[in-house]
Chains A and B, each alone.
Chain A
Amino acid sequence: MPSIGAIQALLLTQAAPAAAGEPMQQTSLGSPSMMSILFFFMIVAVTLVITYWAARKTKTSSEFYAAGRSVSALQNGFALAGDYMSAASFLGISGMVALKGYDGMIYATGWLVGWPALMFLVAEPLRNLGKFTFADVVAFRLRQKPVRIAAAIGGILTVLFYTIAQMVGSGALIQLMFGLKYEYAELIVGVVMLAYVLFGGMLATTWVQIIKAGLLLFGVSLLTVLVLAKFGFHPGNIYAAVVEKYGQTALEPGGIVASPVEAVSLGLALMFGLLGLPHILMRFYTVPDAKAARKSVLYATGLIGYFYIIIPIVGFGASVLMPGGRKFISGIDGGGNMAAPLLAELLGGTAFLGFIAAVAFATILAVVAGLTLAGASAYSHDIYVNVIKGGKATEEEQVKAAKIATIIFGVFAVGLGILFKGQNVAFMVGLAFAIAASANFPALLMSIVWKRFTTQGAVWSILVGAFSSCAMILLSKTVWVDVFKFEHAIFPMKNPAIFSMTSAFAVGIVVSLLTPEREAQEKFEDEKLRTYLGVGAE
């Protein structure tokens, strides 16, 4: 049973020479082709022009963090989809379907089901109650300092682990596709991404996400149509070809659901982790009101659902159409990550490969930019403005703090990316989702719906959620055995969410009941007016 990070592990596997002896497909993958470089520069040029345009509209803190709340529901739907559909899901899930068949489909469904939950539980209240970060909501009626510090710890840990996994994965990926040296890849990602965020703030980041989501959906759709065309536009024919080549088991569930408890725990982390991802939650402040927030979730769910429905066709298509099949795909990259790019080259030539490679690169840039903005805001808005300055900072000070935090975060991202080169950091995506589901989500939900929630309850819930999920993953097979090379795992499961999330809720409830806070209960009435009617929303 792979953990959430398994996909990411695939990204980190270095290229190995294809097995000799069999007739194999030739590929230009790994040697920098003119087409991929051309497409890449086109994407960077267009996004930098947008950044220049956005920079002139980005003066205040609300413009920097929330694009002046001017993003439409449809635009935000695309941007949310862009933030969520990482290179790992595009390359990793198509590769997993190519190599493992149906298990990849089970995994893909898990990535969508958080979106309805996000809608039903937090999207609208979040928009109405907050300003720039999810900590705004948790701290709304509680004591600012302790809650902000705890929430920033949860938020920064989530973003940091997610970023390291993205940076390390992207360095290896770019090396594999463009033949570019790992360190240069890290630097390029860092510099371009910083240009977007630093100068264009949330507006530029949003448009980078929209463009990237559009290109990614277009590329995958085209790939799907090309595959379907080979099979008379009938998916049944693809399945028949898959079974002929790899046997009936390719269409049957396998190892991913070997343990039901583990499968449900993974599902919980994927579902509720989304509700605690700071870079996703932050997007809801970019739309004008709760109604637009609601609509944007629907658009995002539609786009992401469509993506996960067609991705398996690409995976299955690669496994049957590639000469050499699974063996060749896993020969290029052990985890199958190159299934989609290889298929693009086979069906559309070097030009299409170049396009897909450039889109994958743009995907990494966009996701890292979104993460950087979220990480920077947790420090500059929550810690600097609300804790150090006691909420009394001028516009100028706020924007300056945000930009400094962005640079610091960007330098950290590149530095950690280089530091962790070649390390197994796959567990970090799983860790990010587990912390998000266990530290950020319970406190966020309880602050919205529970009148008797208190400052102490919030702080302890976040800390217990964050540290229990960290500890359990550290002691699980994923880290204890696979990274530290100990013989036996101390914690028996790979996905701790079922325990860590439950403990965070339990601790939040018990501590709140033990430390009643009259002021917080009184303010709950005001909060309700804002939560449900949007009265006084930013």
Chain B
Amino acid sequence: MSKPAVSPLKDRSTRSAHEVIASPEFKALVAKRWKVSMVLLTLLFVSYYGFILLVATNKTLVNTKIGEVTTLAIPLGLAAIVIAFVLTAFYVAWANKSYDPEVERIRSQLR
């Protein structure tokens, strides 16, 4: 798996596996990936568990009528589902646009 470092005076455009792992670009890539994940996961937690705790503890608020009979609880429930999808879509958009090109760039240096 780890390639032997062929020449110590390596070509500047290619690097060994160890050099890649130690490189600031790779470390930044990994850090960024988890940063994005953690921010999105936090938003997911806030929206979903926020929704659950809200309907569990503040009945007066969620039972407020927003239409003739429709309670606020209904759009809140729908929002919990829509937000989950939007967060997922955001992650895919971010990964396609900024994660993948960086992976390609670092991989192309590897040898």
Contacts and interface: CB of A to CB of B under 8 A. Distances in A.
B80 to A, nearest CB: 5
Interface in B6-59: 17-18, 20-21, 26, 29-30, 33-34, 37-38, 40-41, 44, 48-49, 51-53, 55-57, 59
A298 B89 contact: yes
Contacts of B53: 260, 263-264
B38 to A, nearest CB: 8
A281 interface: no
B81 A305 contact: yes
A309 B34 CA distance: 30
A240 B81 contact: no
A131 to B, nearest CB: 15
A117 B44 contact: yes
A239 B70 CA distance: 6
A115 B57 contact: no
Interface in A227-261: 236, 239-240, 242-243, 248, 251-253, 257-260
Contact of B67 (A109, A121, A239, A257): A239
B91 A305 contact: no
Contacts of B82: 305, 309
B92 A271 contact: no
Interface stretch (A323-331, A346-354, A355-363, A522-530): A522-530
A530 B29 CA distance: 13
Given A106-B77, A120-B37, A298-B89, A263 B107 contact: no
Chief secondary structure at chain A's binding surface: helix
B49 A264 contact: yes
B42 to A, nearest CB: 10
Interface string A278-321: 00000000000001001101100110010011000000000000
A535 B29 CA distance: 15
A294 B95 contact: yes
A113 B52 CA distance: 12
Contacts of A532: 26, 29-30, 33, 103
Given A113-B48, A257-B52, A236 B88 contact: no
A247 B101 CA distance: 56
B56 A263 contact: yes
A435 to B, nearest CB: 22
Nearest to B17: A529
B62 A253 contact: yes
A415 interface: no
A528 B55 contact: no
Interface in A102-125: 102, 105-106, 108-110, 112-113, 115-117, 119-121, 124
B51 A109 contact: yes
B57 A109 contact: no
B25 to A, nearest CB: 11
B5 interface: no
A258 B69 CA distance: 23
Contacts of B78: 309
Contacts of B38: 120
Nearest to A291: B100
Contacts of B91: 116, 119-120, 294
B84 A113 contact: yes
A331 B84 CA distance: 36
Given A251-B74, A263-B52, A267-B52, A533 B87 contact: no
Given A120-B40, A239-B67, A526-B1, A533 B48 contact: no
A251 B69 contact: yes
A264 B53 CA distance: 8
B98 interface: no
A116 B48 CA distance: 11
Contact of A105 (B20, B33, B68, B74): B74
Contacts of A260: 52-53, 56-57
B92 A295 contact: yes
A113 B44 contact: yes
Given A236-B68, A526-B2, A533 B77 contact: no
Interface string A413-427: 000000000000000
A248 B41 contact: no
Contacts of B1: 526, 529-530, 536
Given A271-B48, A291-B100, A115 B84 contact: yes
30 contacts: A105-B74, A106-B77, A109-B48, A116-B88, A119-B88, A119-B91, A120-B91, A121-B37, A236-B67, A239-B69, A239-B70, A248-B69, A248-B71, A252-B63, A253-B59, A257-B55, A257-B56, A258-B56, A260-B56, A264-B52, A271-B48, A295-B92, A298-B92, A301-B85, A308-B81, A449-B34, A529-B20, A532-B26, A532-B29, A536-B1
Interface of B: 1-2, 17-18, 20-21, 26, 29-30, 33-34, 37-38, 40-41, 44, 48-49, 51-53, 55-57, 59, 62-63, 67-71, 73-74, 77-78, 80-82, 84-85, 87-89, 91-92, 95-96, 100, 103, 106-107, 110
Given A529-B20, A533-B20, 7 more contacts: A236-B69, A239-B74, A240-B69, A251-B69, A257-B55, A309-B82, A532-B33
- The 5 A-B pairs of least Cβ separation, nearest first, read A257-B56, A120-B37, A253-B55, A243-B69, A260-B56
